[in-house]
Structure 1
Amino acid sequence: MGRGSYALARVAVVVRAPAGWLWWAGLVGAGIGALVPGLTGRRIGLLAGAALFLLTAGGVFAARRRRYAELARGATRAGRSVFLQDRAVTLRNWRRARRWWLLLAFLACVASSFAVPAAAGLAMAGAGAGLWAKSLWLGGLERSAETLLWVRAERARSSPAAGPVRGYLTTGLAAGDAAPGGARR
Protein backbone atom coordinates (compact mmCIF):
# COMPACT_ATOMS: atom_id res chain seq x y z
CA MET A 1 0.00 0.00 0.00
CA GLY A 2 1.08 3.52 -0.61
CA ARG A 3 2.12 6.10 1.88
CA GLY A 4 -0.68 7.07 4.26
CA SER A 5 -3.07 4.47 2.88
CA TYR A 6 -4.72 1.68 4.83
CA ALA A 7 -7.42 -0.95 4.42
CA LEU A 8 -10.99 -0.55 5.64
CA ALA A 9 -13.41 -3.36 6.46
CA ARG A 10 -17.18 -2.95 6.58
CA VAL A 11 -18.53 -2.86 10.14
CA ALA A 12 -21.65 -4.86 9.28
CA VAL A 13 -19.60 -7.52 7.49
CA VAL A 14 -17.28 -7.94 10.48
CA VAL A 15 -20.32 -8.31 12.76
CA ARG A 16 -22.04 -10.70 10.34
CA ALA A 17 -18.93 -12.85 9.68
CA PRO A 18 -19.36 -15.25 12.63
CA ALA A 19 -23.16 -15.43 12.39
CA GLY A 20 -23.40 -18.17 9.78
CA TRP A 21 -20.62 -20.25 11.29
CA LEU A 22 -22.10 -20.09 14.79
CA TRP A 23 -25.62 -20.74 13.49
CA TRP A 24 -24.79 -23.85 11.47
CA ALA A 25 -22.27 -25.28 13.93
CA GLY A 26 -24.81 -24.76 16.73
CA LEU A 27 -27.65 -26.43 14.81
CA VAL A 28 -25.48 -29.40 13.83
CA GLY A 29 -24.23 -29.68 17.43
CA ALA A 30 -27.82 -29.53 18.72
CA GLY A 31 -28.91 -32.15 16.16
CA ILE A 32 -26.15 -34.51 17.22
CA GLY A 33 -26.93 -33.75 20.85
CA ALA A 34 -30.60 -34.58 20.38
CA LEU A 35 -29.60 -38.12 19.41
CA VAL A 36 -28.00 -38.66 22.84
CA PRO A 37 -30.44 -39.19 25.75
CA GLY A 38 -28.11 -37.41 28.23
CA LEU A 39 -28.43 -37.15 32.00
CA THR A 40 -31.43 -34.84 32.01
CA GLY A 41 -33.30 -36.36 29.07
CA ARG A 42 -34.06 -34.98 25.63
CA ARG A 43 -37.16 -33.02 26.55
CA ILE A 44 -35.49 -31.03 29.32
CA GLY A 45 -32.40 -30.53 27.17
CA LEU A 46 -34.42 -29.18 24.25
CA LEU A 47 -36.50 -26.89 26.48
CA ALA A 48 -33.36 -25.57 28.18
CA GLY A 49 -31.78 -25.14 24.75
CA ALA A 50 -34.77 -23.16 23.48
CA ALA A 51 -34.57 -20.86 26.51
CA LEU A 52 -30.80 -20.47 26.06
CA PHE A 53 -31.32 -19.74 22.35
CA LEU A 54 -33.66 -16.84 23.12
CA LEU A 55 -31.53 -15.47 25.97
CA THR A 56 -28.29 -15.71 24.00
CA ALA A 57 -29.77 -14.19 20.84
CA GLY A 58 -31.23 -11.29 22.80
CA GLY A 59 -28.05 -10.74 24.79
CA VAL A 60 -25.78 -10.79 21.75
CA PHE A 61 -28.11 -8.46 19.87
CA ALA A 62 -28.22 -5.96 22.76
CA ALA A 63 -24.51 -6.08 23.61
CA ARG A 64 -22.57 -2.90 22.76
CA ARG A 65 -25.36 -1.37 20.67
CA ARG A 66 -24.83 1.97 22.39
CA ARG A 67 -21.12 1.89 21.46
CA TYR A 68 -21.93 1.05 17.83
CA ALA A 69 -24.44 3.90 17.64
CA GLU A 70 -21.98 6.32 19.28
CA LEU A 71 -19.23 5.40 16.82
CA ALA A 72 -21.67 5.69 13.90
CA ARG A 73 -22.76 9.19 14.99
CA GLY A 74 -19.15 10.34 15.19
CA ALA A 75 -18.12 8.81 11.84
CA THR A 76 -16.07 10.88 9.43
CA ARG A 77 -15.73 10.71 5.67
CA ALA A 78 -13.09 8.28 4.36
CA GLY A 79 -10.20 9.73 2.39
CA ARG A 80 -9.28 8.92 -1.18
CA SER A 81 -6.17 6.95 -0.24
CA VAL A 82 -7.97 4.12 1.60
CA PHE A 83 -8.50 0.61 0.25
CA LEU A 84 -11.94 -0.90 0.70
CA GLN A 85 -11.64 -4.55 1.68
CA ASP A 86 -13.89 -7.00 -0.18
CA ARG A 87 -16.56 -8.83 1.75
CA ALA A 88 -14.99 -12.21 0.89
CA VAL A 89 -11.59 -11.09 2.21
CA THR A 90 -13.11 -9.93 5.50
CA LEU A 91 -14.95 -13.23 5.91
CA ARG A 92 -11.87 -15.27 5.02
CA ASN A 93 -9.66 -13.35 7.46
CA TRP A 94 -12.16 -13.80 10.27
CA ARG A 95 -12.55 -17.52 9.56
CA ARG A 96 -8.80 -18.15 9.38
CA ALA A 97 -8.14 -16.36 12.64
CA ARG A 98 -10.81 -18.27 14.57
CA ARG A 99 -11.18 -21.69 12.92
CA TRP A 100 -9.73 -23.57 15.91
CA TRP A 101 -12.00 -21.76 18.34
CA LEU A 102 -15.01 -22.67 16.23
CA LEU A 103 -13.95 -26.31 16.16
CA LEU A 104 -13.42 -26.36 19.94
CA ALA A 105 -16.81 -24.69 20.52
CA PHE A 106 -18.51 -27.25 18.28
CA LEU A 107 -16.82 -30.13 20.09
CA ALA A 108 -17.79 -28.63 23.45
CA CYS A 109 -21.43 -28.42 22.29
CA VAL A 110 -21.43 -32.06 21.28
CA ALA A 111 -19.66 -33.16 24.48
CA SER A 112 -22.05 -31.21 26.71
CA SER A 113 -24.95 -33.09 25.12
CA PHE A 114 -24.09 -36.07 27.30
CA ALA A 115 -25.26 -33.96 30.26
CA VAL A 116 -27.96 -31.71 28.76
CA PRO A 117 -28.85 -32.74 25.18
CA ALA A 118 -28.84 -29.97 22.53
CA ALA A 119 -28.74 -27.05 25.00
CA ALA A 120 -25.24 -25.78 24.24
CA GLY A 121 -25.75 -26.20 20.50
CA LEU A 122 -28.92 -24.12 20.58
CA ALA A 123 -27.13 -21.47 22.67
CA MET A 124 -24.40 -21.33 20.03
CA ALA A 125 -27.03 -21.00 17.29
CA GLY A 126 -28.63 -18.20 19.32
CA ALA A 127 -25.34 -16.31 19.32
CA GLY A 128 -25.26 -16.58 15.52
CA ALA A 129 -28.85 -15.37 15.26
CA GLY A 130 -28.11 -12.41 17.55
CA LEU A 131 -25.11 -11.36 15.45
CA TRP A 132 -27.16 -11.65 12.27
CA ALA A 133 -29.89 -9.45 13.81
CA LYS A 134 -27.26 -6.92 14.93
CA SER A 135 -25.88 -6.73 11.38
CA LEU A 136 -29.41 -6.02 10.12
CA TRP A 137 -29.73 -3.29 12.76
CA LEU A 138 -26.43 -1.80 11.55
CA GLY A 139 -27.82 -1.96 8.00
CA GLY A 140 -30.77 0.12 9.18
CA LEU A 141 -28.37 2.70 10.63
CA GLU A 142 -26.51 2.77 7.31
CA ARG A 143 -29.69 3.20 5.28
CA SER A 144 -31.02 5.98 7.49
CA ALA A 145 -27.73 7.92 7.25
CA GLU A 146 -27.31 6.97 3.56
CA THR A 147 -23.68 6.01 4.24
CA LEU A 148 -21.76 2.78 4.73
CA LEU A 149 -19.77 2.36 7.94
CA TRP A 150 -16.14 1.24 7.69
CA VAL A 151 -13.45 0.53 10.27
CA ARG A 152 -9.69 0.13 9.91
CA ALA A 153 -9.13 -3.59 9.33
CA GLU A 154 -6.24 -3.96 11.76
CA ARG A 155 -8.17 -2.31 14.61
CA ALA A 156 -11.30 -4.46 14.23
CA ARG A 157 -9.62 -7.83 14.75
CA SER A 158 -11.68 -8.72 17.82
CA SER A 159 -14.73 -6.51 17.35
CA PRO A 160 -15.61 -3.35 15.41
CA ALA A 161 -16.68 -1.80 18.75
CA ALA A 162 -13.60 -2.83 20.76
CA GLY A 163 -11.37 -0.42 22.64
CA PRO A 164 -8.74 0.12 19.89
CA VAL A 165 -11.45 1.38 17.50
CA ARG A 166 -11.47 5.17 17.81
CA GLY A 167 -14.06 5.88 15.16
CA TYR A 168 -15.72 4.78 11.97
CA LEU A 169 -15.28 6.11 8.47
CA THR A 170 -18.08 6.51 5.94
CA THR A 171 -18.53 6.20 2.20
CA GLY A 172 -21.53 6.41 -0.07
CA LEU A 173 -23.99 3.54 -0.40
CA ALA A 174 -22.52 2.42 -3.73
CA ALA A 175 -19.03 1.73 -2.33
CA GLY A 176 -17.83 -1.82 -1.70
CA ASP A 177 -19.33 -5.14 -2.67
CA ALA A 178 -21.73 -5.62 0.27
CA ALA A 179 -25.19 -4.18 0.75
CA PRO A 180 -26.17 -2.28 3.92
CA GLY A 181 -26.22 -4.88 6.69
CA GLY A 182 -23.30 -6.85 5.26
CA ALA A 183 -25.16 -9.11 2.82
CA ARG A 184 -23.99 -9.74 -0.74
CA ARG A 185 -25.11 -7.24 -3.36
Structure 2
Amino acid sequence: MEIILNKFWDQIKLARDVNDYQYFMRLLDAGEFLTKISTVAYISCIDDDSEMHRQKHLLALARADSLGTWVETLSTTINTVPTGLLSSGVRSIKTELTKGSADSWQNAVASQLRDCLNIATTVSQQRQGNANLLDFFSDFVTLRNKTKGHGIVRTRIASRVCGKLSDALWTYQRLFQLFDSSWV
Protein backbone atom coordinates (compact mmCIF):
# COMPACT_ATOMS: atom_id res chain seq x y z
CA MET A 1 0.00 0.00 0.00
CA GLU A 2 2.85 2.36 0.80
CA ILE A 3 4.16 2.07 -2.78
CA ILE A 4 0.77 2.97 -4.24
CA LEU A 5 0.34 5.93 -1.90
CA ASN A 6 3.84 7.19 -2.70
CA LYS A 7 3.04 7.00 -6.43
CA PHE A 8 -0.10 9.07 -5.84
CA TRP A 9 1.91 11.74 -4.04
CA ASP A 10 4.56 11.69 -6.78
CA GLN A 11 1.84 12.35 -9.36
CA ILE A 12 0.40 15.11 -7.20
CA LYS A 13 3.82 16.79 -6.99
CA LEU A 14 4.21 16.57 -10.78
CA ALA A 15 0.75 18.07 -11.31
CA ARG A 16 1.54 20.86 -8.83
CA ASP A 17 4.42 21.85 -11.09
CA VAL A 18 2.16 21.93 -14.18
CA ASN A 19 -0.65 24.18 -12.93
CA ASP A 20 -3.12 24.56 -10.07
CA TYR A 21 -5.99 23.00 -12.01
CA GLN A 22 -4.05 19.77 -12.62
CA TYR A 23 -2.86 19.84 -9.01
CA PHE A 24 -6.45 20.14 -7.78
CA MET A 25 -7.67 17.30 -10.01
CA ARG A 26 -4.90 14.96 -8.78
CA LEU A 27 -5.78 15.85 -5.18
CA LEU A 28 -9.40 14.92 -5.88
CA ASP A 29 -8.23 11.61 -7.38
CA ALA A 30 -6.18 10.93 -4.23
CA GLY A 31 -9.15 11.79 -2.02
CA GLU A 32 -11.37 9.39 -3.94
CA PHE A 33 -8.78 6.64 -3.58
CA LEU A 34 -8.32 7.26 0.15
CA THR A 35 -12.10 7.24 0.66
CA LYS A 36 -12.57 3.97 -1.19
CA ILE A 37 -9.60 2.13 0.31
CA SER A 38 -10.61 3.22 3.82
CA THR A 39 -14.16 2.02 3.27
CA VAL A 40 -13.33 -1.36 1.76
CA ALA A 41 -10.59 -2.05 4.32
CA TYR A 42 -12.93 -1.29 7.22
CA ILE A 43 -15.76 -3.42 5.84
CA SER A 44 -13.34 -6.27 5.11
CA CYS A 45 -12.60 -6.48 8.84
CA ILE A 46 -16.13 -7.51 9.74
CA ASP A 47 -16.09 -11.13 10.89
CA ASP A 48 -18.45 -13.67 9.34
CA ASP A 49 -21.85 -13.84 11.00
CA SER A 50 -25.25 -15.39 10.33
CA GLU A 51 -26.71 -12.08 9.11
CA MET A 52 -23.90 -11.68 6.55
CA HIS A 53 -23.14 -8.05 7.48
CA ARG A 54 -19.83 -7.95 5.61
CA GLN A 55 -21.28 -9.48 2.45
CA LYS A 56 -24.25 -7.06 2.44
CA HIS A 57 -22.01 -4.02 2.72
CA LEU A 58 -19.51 -5.27 0.13
CA LEU A 59 -22.41 -5.93 -2.24
CA ALA A 60 -23.59 -2.34 -1.69
CA LEU A 61 -20.11 -1.15 -2.70
CA ALA A 62 -20.10 -3.36 -5.78
CA ARG A 63 -23.40 -1.78 -6.84
CA ALA A 64 -22.40 1.76 -5.87
CA ASP A 65 -22.95 4.33 -8.58
CA SER A 66 -21.26 7.24 -6.83
CA LEU A 67 -18.60 8.10 -4.29
CA GLY A 68 -21.40 9.27 -2.01
CA THR A 69 -22.70 5.70 -1.86
CA TRP A 70 -19.28 4.58 -0.58
CA VAL A 71 -19.44 7.13 2.26
CA GLU A 72 -23.05 6.22 3.06
CA THR A 73 -22.08 2.53 3.20
CA LEU A 74 -19.16 3.28 5.53
CA SER A 75 -21.41 5.34 7.80
CA THR A 76 -24.11 2.65 7.80
CA THR A 77 -21.52 -0.01 8.57
CA ILE A 78 -20.09 1.95 11.48
CA ASN A 79 -23.55 2.66 12.90
CA THR A 80 -25.22 -0.74 12.37
CA VAL A 81 -22.58 -3.46 12.66
CA PRO A 82 -21.98 -4.46 16.29
CA THR A 83 -18.43 -3.77 17.46
CA GLY A 84 -18.18 -7.41 18.51
CA LEU A 85 -18.23 -8.44 14.84
CA LEU A 86 -15.13 -6.41 14.06
CA SER A 87 -11.75 -8.10 14.04
CA SER A 88 -10.00 -7.13 17.25
CA GLY A 89 -7.30 -5.11 15.47
CA VAL A 90 -9.82 -2.84 13.78
CA ARG A 91 -11.93 -1.81 16.77
CA SER A 92 -9.60 1.08 17.43
CA ILE A 93 -10.05 2.14 13.79
CA LYS A 94 -13.80 2.47 14.39
CA THR A 95 -13.01 4.76 17.31
CA GLU A 96 -10.61 6.73 15.15
CA LEU A 97 -13.28 7.21 12.45
CA THR A 98 -15.87 8.49 14.91
CA LYS A 99 -13.65 10.51 17.26
CA GLY A 100 -13.97 14.24 16.92
CA SER A 101 -12.81 16.08 20.02
CA ALA A 102 -11.79 19.72 19.65
CA ASP A 103 -8.06 18.97 19.86
CA SER A 104 -8.06 15.83 17.67
CA TRP A 105 -6.38 15.53 14.30
CA GLN A 106 -9.67 14.18 12.96
CA ASN A 107 -11.42 17.46 13.79
CA ALA A 108 -8.49 19.41 12.29
CA VAL A 109 -8.58 17.62 8.91
CA ALA A 110 -12.38 17.76 8.76
CA SER A 111 -12.21 21.51 9.47
CA GLN A 112 -9.60 21.97 6.73
CA LEU A 113 -11.83 20.16 4.28
CA ARG A 114 -14.84 22.25 5.34
CA ASP A 115 -12.71 25.35 4.64
CA CYS A 116 -11.99 23.99 1.15
CA LEU A 117 -15.69 23.42 0.59
CA ASN A 118 -16.51 26.95 1.70
CA ILE A 119 -13.91 28.38 -0.70
CA ALA A 120 -15.04 26.26 -3.65
CA THR A 121 -18.76 26.87 -3.21
CA THR A 122 -20.65 30.11 -2.87
CA VAL A 123 -22.55 29.03 0.21
CA SER A 124 -20.66 29.11 3.49
CA GLN A 125 -21.46 26.05 5.55
CA GLN A 126 -20.83 26.12 9.27
CA ARG A 127 -20.56 22.98 11.38
CA GLN A 128 -22.07 22.73 14.82
CA GLY A 129 -19.62 21.18 17.27
CA ASN A 130 -16.61 19.05 16.48
CA ALA A 131 -16.13 16.98 13.35
CA ASN A 132 -14.95 13.42 12.81
CA LEU A 133 -13.69 11.47 9.81
CA LEU A 134 -17.21 10.64 8.62
CA ASP A 135 -17.74 14.41 8.30
CA PHE A 136 -14.40 14.58 6.47
CA PHE A 137 -15.54 11.97 3.93
CA SER A 138 -18.97 13.55 3.52
CA ASP A 139 -17.48 17.01 2.91
CA PHE A 140 -14.98 15.52 0.48
CA VAL A 141 -17.80 13.99 -1.57
CA THR A 142 -19.59 17.35 -1.64
CA LEU A 143 -16.40 19.15 -2.71
CA ARG A 144 -15.71 16.56 -5.41
CA ASN A 145 -19.27 16.66 -6.73
CA LYS A 146 -19.46 20.46 -6.81
CA THR A 147 -16.20 20.65 -8.74
CA LYS A 148 -15.04 17.60 -10.67
CA GLY A 149 -18.26 15.61 -10.57
CA HIS A 150 -21.03 18.00 -11.57
CA GLY A 151 -19.50 21.41 -11.81
CA ILE A 152 -16.68 23.43 -13.16
CA VAL A 153 -13.85 24.66 -11.02
CA ARG A 154 -12.10 27.88 -11.87
CA THR A 155 -8.33 27.87 -11.70
CA ARG A 156 -8.26 30.72 -9.19
CA ILE A 157 -10.54 28.76 -6.86
CA ALA A 158 -8.45 25.61 -7.33
CA SER A 159 -5.40 27.71 -6.44
CA ARG A 160 -7.00 28.78 -3.15
CA VAL A 161 -8.13 25.26 -2.25
CA CYS A 162 -5.07 23.17 -3.16
CA GLY A 163 -2.90 23.94 -0.12
CA LYS A 164 -5.58 23.14 2.46
CA LEU A 165 -6.81 20.10 0.55
CA SER A 166 -3.29 18.73 0.18
CA ASP A 167 -2.60 19.26 3.89
CA ALA A 168 -5.88 17.58 4.89
CA LEU A 169 -5.33 14.53 2.69
CA TRP A 170 -1.66 14.19 3.66
CA THR A 171 -2.45 14.45 7.37
CA TYR A 172 -5.28 11.94 7.04
CA GLN A 173 -3.08 9.43 5.24
CA ARG A 174 -0.20 9.93 7.64
CA LEU A 175 -2.16 9.75 10.92
CA PHE A 176 -4.99 7.31 10.22
CA GLN A 177 -3.75 4.09 11.76
CA LEU A 178 -5.38 1.98 9.05
CA PHE A 179 -2.54 2.94 6.70
CA ASP A 180 0.03 1.72 9.22
CA SER A 181 -1.45 -1.77 9.09
CA SER A 182 0.56 -4.31 7.12
CA TRP A 183 -2.60 -5.97 5.77
CA VAL A 184 -3.90 -2.88 3.94
> What is the TM-score normalised by the length of structure 1?
0.31
Larger relative contact order (CA 8 Å, sep ≥ 6)? 1
Higher strand share: 1
> What is the TM-score normalised by the length of structure 2?
0.31
Structure with larger Rg: 1
Higher helix share: 2
